[in-house]
Amino acid sequence: MSHITFPNSLITPQLLAENLSAENLIILDASMKPVTNIGVAQPTVPTYIPGSLRFDYDTHICDHNTSLPHMMPTPEFFTEEMQKMGIRKDSAIVVYDNVGVYASPRAWWMFRAMGHDNVAVLDGGLPAWINAGYETTATLATPTSRGDFASHPRPELIVDSQTVTHALSDSAFSVMDARSAGRFKGQEPEPRAGLRGGHMPGAVNLPFAETQTNGVMKSPALLREIFNEYQNKKLIFSCGTGVTACILALAADQAGVKNLSVYDGSWTEWGASTSGLPVEIG
């Protein structure tokens, strides 16, 4: 049995199919229902890549001591849950979702933030897997043994509102917002109740859809064009709840940008009417 190491943060359906027998392969379904309409039909019946385990960071693998959605859990909790799932220090982890590339980059970024680099997002997700003619199953797998996964946190990869506040007034940083232009400008309502419209003063709008074509990530060359003017910046990504911000992190990673962070609380924290944090419209 062979071991696989991913040279890249994206993996094609073909490459995954060719390595399904790799001894250290772990496949995680990180699907989450989109909070806004993104025009992609989700499967009506449970559909998974064979051997998939469920990685639910929305209700389970998250911080349960906050009202903010799916915030990062403690390293101790993450370690325990990954070990229960049979994940090991040498595991090669593929994360995917049933939309395309939507919820899965958040799972990829969580592993990176916990110090595990041998993890890749399935480009195009479950739809691309199905379109390529590969087999699916209606059931999830169950872990067969306990793993020895260990978290080695990189706290600089997940930042808070204080760090973002500093970054907004520091020319070494750019804060990029993955929400739609309408939400960024305060012209469209926020999908979550109790949030102000608009954006952080000084933030740049890069809607996550601009990094993709039909749910597949654009080529590294096209992504380099998008991020070219930010090559020497420290980038912080924000969105509604810290999910699609990770799509921008994946896109920047593909473009070769190195200094990346995700604002965990994102607009749900910043835009709250009680946060006292500054908001701009237009």
In the chain, pLDDT over 70 holds for what percent of residues? 97
- Angle, helices 245-254 vs 104-113, to 10°: value is 70
Q: Report domain 156-270's class.
A: alpha beta
Average pLDDT, the chain: 95
pLDDT band at 33; cut points 50, 70, 90:
confident
The model's pTM: 0.96
Mean pLDDT of 204-208: 98
Mean pLDDT of 57-71: 96
Is a pLDDT exceeding 80 seen at residue 186?
Answer: yes
Is a pLDDT exceeding 90 seen at residue 235?
Answer: yes
Whether 246 is catalytic is no
Is a pLDDT exceeding 90 seen at residue 83?
Answer: yes
Q: In what order do the strands lie in the sheet with 10-11?
A: 10-11, 119-122, 92-96, 25-29, 52-54
Q: Considering the candidates 176, 239, 245, 251, report the single residue annotated as catalytic.
A: 239
pLDDT digits (tens, 9 = 90+) for 104-125: 999 999 999 999 999 999 999 9
Distance CA 101, CA 157 (A): 20
pLDDT digits (tens, 9 = 90+) for 120-171: 999 999 999 999 999 999 999 999 899 999 999 999 999 999 999 999 999 9
Q: What is the pLDDT of residue 100?
A: 95
Does this chain's domain 10-153 share its CATH topology with 156-270? yes
pLDDT band at 38; cut points 50, 70, 90:
low
DSSP classification of residue 272: B
Distance CA 206, CA 202 (A): 13
> Smallest Cα–Cα separation from 278: which of 212, 200, 224, 215?
200
- The CATH number of domain 10-153, selected from 3.30.420.40, 3.40.250.10, 3.30.465.10, 3.40.630.30: 3.40.250.10
Q: What is the pLDDT of residue 41?
A: 62
| Cβ burial, residue 216 (10 Å; 0-12/13-18/19+) | middle
Q: Which spans in the chain are helix H?
A: 13-18, 75-84, 104-113, 125-131, 161-168, 181-184, 220-227, 245-254, 266-270
| Cβ burial, residue 144 (10 Å; 0-12/13-18/19+) | exposed
Q: Are 238 and 268 within 8 A, CB to CB?
A: no
Task: Tell me the domain boundaries of the chain.
Answer: 10-153, 156-270
Mean pLDDT of 253-268: 97
Distance CA 248, CA 254 (A): 10
